[in-house]
């Protein structure tokens, strides 16, 4: 007979389970990263690559998320879409920054975000080469490698900087207008690192003041945005009018930063 006085083993928090999955996925991706010469690479479009590593890591994430949360749905970059019954959807990017990955760069990461009630509510990001694991959400304080992330600095135009990215399908006119607006109208510096997740990590760590995107997908940002929200960072996405399959045109940062970039967003087209 079981000991009725024995305390029940407490359930592991969701974010802990997902962090373990992300780390294991990172080890799998890093195995491929160390043997890039033998890695098959395909093109999904102009400058838009996919590798066997992307597909294998996505399959790993789907299998382990389904095992841990069998009632939840999954929406993945490489075609993994599984309906659920809980109303929760895990939105995953197995390797955000595939182009960097293929070229041997360090700017890539595994991104796992939870979408519930049409909102991003939890995010886990693991960047294996940088040895960074970031977790946070609407009810989970942001942590970097297990430690609280320090408060973000106030927006200061005298030293302001933004991350910036555009999808390959974005017109040259819109690309140049965005650069002109950032450089001339705002008069601030900008960075392009080729991976939305990494750019958003820079915002989390106070290395930039915000991020401007023309053409990211929801899987690029679903993990990072709830982490940023826990740090007091806002964004311009209207999730009530945004489907998971849509391309995004948005900015995130402090309200002071967003007030300055909203005029640009109103002039740009949405990537297809």
Beta-carbon contacts of residue 126 (< 8 Å; ≥ 6 apart): 19, 22, 23, 25, 26, 109, 110, 132, 133, 134
pLDDT of residue 34: 87
Domain boundary at 122, 148, 174, which?
A: 148
Cα gap 78→62, rounded to integer Å: 11
pLDDT of residue 204: 98
Q: Can you give the pTM of this predicted structure? A: 0.91
Whether 249 shows a pLDDT value over 80: the answer reads: yes
Half-sphere exposure for 11 (CA within 13 Å, toward CB): 5
pLDDT of residue 48: 52
96 is in an annotated binding site: yes
Q: Does 127 share its domain with 218?
A: no
Q: Does 202 share its domain with 173?
A: yes
* Percent of the chain topping pLDDT 90: 81
Structural domain of 185: 157-265
Q: Does 162 share its domain with 136?
A: no
Domain boundary at 119, 148, 177, which?
A: 148
How would DSSP label each residue in the chain? ---TTSPPPPPPPHHHHHHHHHHHHHHHHHHHHTTGGG--EEEEETTEEEEHHHHHHHHHHHHHHHHH-TTSEEEETTS-EE--SSSEEEEEEEEETHHHHHTT-S--EEEEEEEETTEEEEEEEEETTTTEEEEEESSS--EETTEEPPPPPPP-GGG-EEEEEE-TTS-HHHHHHHHHIIIIII--EEE--S-HHHHHHHHHTTSSSEEEEEEEEHHHHTTHHHHHHHTT-EE---GGG--TTSEEEEEEE-HHHHHHHHHHHTTPPPP-
Q: What is the pLDDT of residues 145-168, one digit of tens each?
A: 999 999 999 999 999 999 999 988
Q: Does 162 share its domain with 251?
A: yes
* Percent of the chain topping pLDDT 70: 90
Domain boundary at 148, 180, 202, which?
A: 148
CA 248, 60, 229, 130 dihedral sign is: negative
Q: What is the pLDDT of residues 256-268, one digit of tens each?
A: 999 999 999 988 8
Residue 108 maps to which CATH number? 3.30.540.10
Predicted confidence band at 4 (pLDDT cuts at 50, 70, 90)?
very low
Q: Does 168 share its domain with 242?
A: yes
Structural domain tally of the chain?
2
Q: Does 217 share its domain with 109?
A: no
220 is in an annotated binding site: yes
95 is in an annotated binding site: yes
Q: What is the pLDDT of residues 108-145, one digit of tens each?
A: 999 999 999 999 999 999 999 999 999 999 999 999 99
pLDDT of residue 75: 96
Whether 10 shows a pLDDT value over 60: the answer reads: no
Residue 203 maps to which CATH number? 3.40.190.80
Q: Does 179 share its domain with 85?
A: no
Whether 1 shows a pLDDT value over 50: the answer reads: no
Q: Does 138 share its domain with 168?
A: no
Predicted confidence band at 5 (pLDDT cuts at 50, 70, 90)?
very low
Residue 241 lies in a domain: yes
Predicted confidence band at 81 (pLDDT cuts at 50, 70, 90)?
confident
pLDDT of residue 62: 96
Predicted confidence band at 196 (pLDDT cuts at 50, 70, 90)?
very high
């Amino acid at each position: 007979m079981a000991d009725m006085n024995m305390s029940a083993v407490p359930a592991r928090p969701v974010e802990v389970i997902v962090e373990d999955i992300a780390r294991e996925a990172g080890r799998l991706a890093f195995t491929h990263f160390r043997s890039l010469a033998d890695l098959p690479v395909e093109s999904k479009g102009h400058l838009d690559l996919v590798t066997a590593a992307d597909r294998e890591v996505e399959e790993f994430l789907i299998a382990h998320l389904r095992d841990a949360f069998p009632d939840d749905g999954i929406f993945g970059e490489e075609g993994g879409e599984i309906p659920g019954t809980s109303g929760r959807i895990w939105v995953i990017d197995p390797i955000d920054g595939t182009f960097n990955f293929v070229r041997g760069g360090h700017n890539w990461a595994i991104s796992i975000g939870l979408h519930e009630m049409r909102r991003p509510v939890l995010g886990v990001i693991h960047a294996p080469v940088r040895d960074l694991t970031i977790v946070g959400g609407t009810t989970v304080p942001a942590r970097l490698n297990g430690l609280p992330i320090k408060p973000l600095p106030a927006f200061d135009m005298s030293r302001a900087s933004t991350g910036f990215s555009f999808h390959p399908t974005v017109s040259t006119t819109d690309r140049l207008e965005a650069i002109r607006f950032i450089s001339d109208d705002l008069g601030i510096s900008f960075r392009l690192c080729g991976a939305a997740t990494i750019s958003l990590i820079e915002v989390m760590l106070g290395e930039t003041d915000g991020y401007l995107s023309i053409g990211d997908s929801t899987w690029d940002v679903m993990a990072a945005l709830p982490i940023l929200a826990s740090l007091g960072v806002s964004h311009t996405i209207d999730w009530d009018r945004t489907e998971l399959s849509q391309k995004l045109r948005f900015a995130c940062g402090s309200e002071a930063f967003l007030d300055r970039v909203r005029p640009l967003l109103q002039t740009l087209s949405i990537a297809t």
